[in-house]
Chains A and B, each alone.
Chain A
């Protein structure tokens, strides 16, 4: 009942906001300070406590210019014995989410720079093209039946037969209206993946750090028929997922989720989650991490009925792209495990993340144990970083690609024993 009341309030909220705004404007002449500090801030600074109002913590700025390969210190990357890493492709500022076409093209989404890249492998070298540009954070890319799907804010596009036309990609089919996604800038960038059911899975993040949301609109993961029909919400209470994959045997959806900022230096911890039935609730905004009740939006019992994470990913570490390892190149213990890219923290004084971790399933397949796999991007003594892993992709030969949006590069990890 309590929830219902909240959502009833939400329905009238736009009107109330206008009234408040009218009052604020009317009173502006009377008060010296009429609007600031009234809690309107909904960007990344939202939820910042008064004692940290002058904190210099802010999201790290990405690099939008080309980083030459000789300025990428790939020799600092550390991997378990027997593994090797090389720079596989470079010169693509902001390179983030990856998907592979049927003919072997790797398509790469970006956020700020607004491009989608296509990387072609010519054997010993790779070339890349910008196949579409000028979009608002075209982060989500997925490939199916010869077509590339790209999701930006707020735009969904389908490029048919794209691998045969990489030099001159025709205008895409615009599916924006068919998908009808919200247009919010905050947490509005998308990840895309096709499930084993042939549906296109799309996350819709909360448009805030912490706030009330309408559960049918925000903070969920949805699936659609590829044409945008048949929308169904498969996970609720998901603050901001920017990466997921499907268990190669059970088909279950596993996803990463970025937890709240400003509640503390250490947490609540970011999450790796498993969806066992459609519509399951993962807690946002009332219940965070491993069962931390939100001090503002939660009450006792707010974690009842909430599915807690399959693994805790560390506070503010930003786990993004994740995939199950379905290849044969890596040793036995990696097969059926997950690789998870952690882009690294901004909302804590001591940097954490900036790595790729391994998630090994428990015997019952419900939980995962997290251990380091690809490290060396972070200098813990200096509290600085030189690279930020965003996504991982398993190649047909079993090698693992890792994208780094700070250097605009894709690394290739192989196992040679």
Chain B
């Protein structure tokens, strides 16, 4: 829920400060709007290059196209519940969703800026290796098909999402992540998220 609150704050903040968001949002909600307007509405929170600079908002850059298509469709259908995202994608047809996914999938993902905490980074790397995260997410954690890129994703988003999986607050048809995370401690999740956010990205 932290993610949702943060995202709401992001939109609310943008609305107050710049006034940009409502205009692009209104355009995006119009089914006849140009694709560029829709993409720019996405970019207003997720970052113009798809690398999010906003707390709680995930980066979309370099995600597998299939993963982005699936998530947008599941949000549109109300299966993946997101009060924040659904109004934007509700009117999107499959072709629009595919085009948006292609756009963000083709953008290079950037790892977190600055330097990692060496201790936390090492602990996270050990956990990622012992947890065999690379089996599904690939050895460079860049994801494949329906499985998301986790390398270079925002640290706060990763931590919040992994905790939500652990606590059963995210339930998807594939229950593997719930069960992989079952019993994980908060500080272990923080280490995982820290390592992955700084993991070298090869695209």
Contact = CB atoms under 8 A, between A and B. Distances in A.
Interface of A: 20-21, 24-25, 28-29, 32-38, 40-46, 53-56, 58-59, 61, 64-66, 93, 111-115, 133-137, 185-186, 189
A41 B131 CA distance: 10
Candidate in A29, A46, A113 with the most chain B CB atoms within 10 angstroms: A113
Contact of B180 (A45, A54, A186): A45
Nearest to B185: A28
B77 A133 contact: yes
Contact of B175 (A36, A53, A93, A186): A186
A33 B145 CA distance: 29
Contacts, number: 117
A35 B162 CA distance: 14
Given A34-B185, A35-B185, A41 B73 contact: no
A136 B173 CA distance: 8
Contacts of B127: 32-33, 36
A113 B70 CA distance: 9
Contacts of B183: 20-21, 24-25, 35, 38, 40
B63 to A, nearest CB: 14
A19 to B, nearest CB: 11
Contacts of A34: 185, 188
14 contacts: A25-B183, A29-B185, A35-B188, A36-B184, A43-B178, A44-B176, A53-B135, A54-B134, A54-B135, A59-B174, A64-B70, A65-B98, A113-B73, A133-B78
Contacts of A55: 135
A135 B77 CA distance: 9
Nearest to B131: A36
A61 B145 contact: yes
A54 B137 CA distance: 10
B122 to A, nearest CB: 9
Interface residues of B, number: 41
B188 A61 contact: no
Nearest to B79: A114
Interface of B: 66, 69-70, 73-74, 77-79, 94, 97-98, 123, 126-127, 130-132, 134-136, 138-139, 145-147, 171-180, 182-185, 187-188
B50 to A, nearest CB: 21
Given A37-B130, A54-B132, A46 B179 contact: yes
A61 B144 CA distance: 10
A189 B171 CA distance: 14
A121 to B, nearest CB: 25
A33 B174 CA distance: 25
A200 B139 CA distance: 47
B74 A64 contact: yes
Contacts of A114: 74, 77-79
